[in-house]
Amino acid sequence: MPDLLETNSIIVRLLKRSFSLYLLVAVIVTLTHLIIEYNHVQSQITEEIKKIHETFNPILSEALWGLNEEHIRLVMSSMLKTSIVTGVRVVEEESPEIVMGIVLSENDIPIEVNESGEVDNKKSILSEKPFGIDFLMRTQRGKYLGNLTIYSSSSVVINRIKHSFTLILINAVIKSLALWGIFLVFSYFLVGRPLKQLNLAVENFNLDVDDTEDDDEEEPSHDAEILKTKDEISTLAGNLDKLRSALLEKMDIIEKQNFALLSYTGKIDTELTFTIEENKRKQMITLNQISHIVIEEHYFNLYYIQNSQWRSWTSYGNLKDIEEQYPGFFFRVNRSSLINPNMIESASLGKEPFMVEMKGNNNEKLSISRSKRKLLAQLYIPQK
């Protein structure tokens, strides 16, 4: 899986784009959730302030009716002791206002007034955002006494919902990480791994006759698990196998036709020659003198007959160059062997192991790859 996390990986690019969009949506939804939660708690606090007013209204109205400022401040001080009240302002009709706690000034700036009525400038309360609720103070007979404003602040709301905020944020982070992990795992198994196998199959897509000895003729060019799924990747893999099979079939037909043409043109064997060098002397032999050629590392051994004696010659080179120099004559039975079909002593093509025995001193036996078995069976005619 680590190699799929490279910058150019299709999974990484898909993850970046889709996950970026998901994060944007998640942030918007989370912020909306937080705002809704904040407004909900603020509404709850407003209702609680109204209940506080209902509780203290009779006492405060009586104090206002009696113009008892000390009693008024005592009631206001009691209100401030509740957890949600940060400030109180009382405005009488014919008397100066009485302010206590954190309230808004005439310029809507938060200020804090102590119990003595003095503004405390030492404390920084600019982060506070008070909000007040106004109430009309009346006697039991309905006579107007003044206005009462009870203040709370944003810090009260935040303190109440900070645990909910934390849970919401943790929930959003866990969901994002879980989605990222799930997306990565499923992308790897459903897209990444099949694409990697298909890519390896394309890289190893080889139509050359340079087969390994244990190649399976019907073995697909990729992991067969890809074909189990019915998606675009499996369709592409299936088409790749069909293309490979069709090309191999056409190549076999062409190779068979080359050998057929060679068998009908008897002059070819006598006209084509191979140059070998022995004891610092060069000599020419015809191709029909050669039995087979076997390569070992960077050298090949050529086995041929001359003057009714079997000989061998070793030289530096590779089989591909020989095939290109003498096209249609030699037949490659496996990765390391070329044979002259006219020099076959016997062949075992019915069941594994597939072997061909070549003429020579020791009648060397060579293995036949499965991909060449059928074609050799069509070319080889057992001697009677």
If asked whether residues 274 and 141 sit together in one domain, one would say no
At which residue do the structure tokens 């496996």 appear? 334
Please check whether residue 204 lies inside any domain of the structure: no
For residue 222, pLDDT beyond 70: no
Query: Looking at 147, 162, 177, which one is the last position of a domain?
Result: 162
Report how far Cα 261 is from the mean position of its chain's Cα atoms. Answer: 54
Dist. CA 30–CA 28, nearest whole Å:
6
Domain assignment of residue 268, given as a range: 211-384
| 142 and 8 assigned to the same domain | yes
Is residue 231 domain-shared with residue 320, that is, in the same domain? yes
Q: Is the pLDDT reported for residue 82 higher than 90?
A: no
Q: What pLDDT digit, counting tens, does each position of 113-162 carry?
A: 877 667 765 554 445 566 777 777 776 667 777 888 888 888 888 888 88
Residues 109 and 218 in one domain: no
Q: What is the largest CA-CA distance in the chain?
A: 146
Does residue 182 form part of some domain? Answer: no
CB 344 within 8 A of CB 356: yes
Decide: 151 and 79 in contact? Cβ < 8 Å: no
Answer yes or no: is 200 within a domain: no
DSSP type of residue 117: S
Radius of gyration of the chain (CA): 48
- Same domain assignment for residues 223 and 352: yes
Query: Tell me, what DSSP letter sits at residue 66?
Result: T
Asked whether residue 147 falls in the same domain as residue 243, the answer is no
State whether 128 and 229 are in the same domain: no
Task: Judge if 74 and 142 occupy the same domain.
Answer: yes
Residues 274 and 156 in one domain: no
Count structural domains, the chain.
Answer: 2
Domain boundary (104, 128, 162) is at 162
User: Has residue 206 been placed in a domain?
Assistant: no
What's the whole-number average pLDDT of the chain?
Answer: 77
Taking the C-alpha atoms of residue 110 and residue 258, their distance in angstroms, rounded to an integer, is: 100
Model confidence at 292: pLDDT above 90: yes
259 touches 377 (CB < 8 A): no
CATH at 358:
2.40.50.1020
In a domain, 281, yes or no: yes
Give the residue-averaged pLDDT of 264-268: 45
Q: Specify whether the CB–CB gap between 132 and 119 falls below 8 A.
A: no
- The pTM for the full model equals 0.47
327-357 confidence digits (pLDDT tens)? 878 888 888 999 988 888 888 887 778 888 9
Q: What sign does the dihedral 254-259-265-269 (CA atoms) show?
A: positive
Q: 262 lies in a domain?
A: yes
Q: Higher model confidence: residue 280 or residue 112?
A: 112
Would you say residue 176 lies in a domain?
no
In a domain? residue 184: no
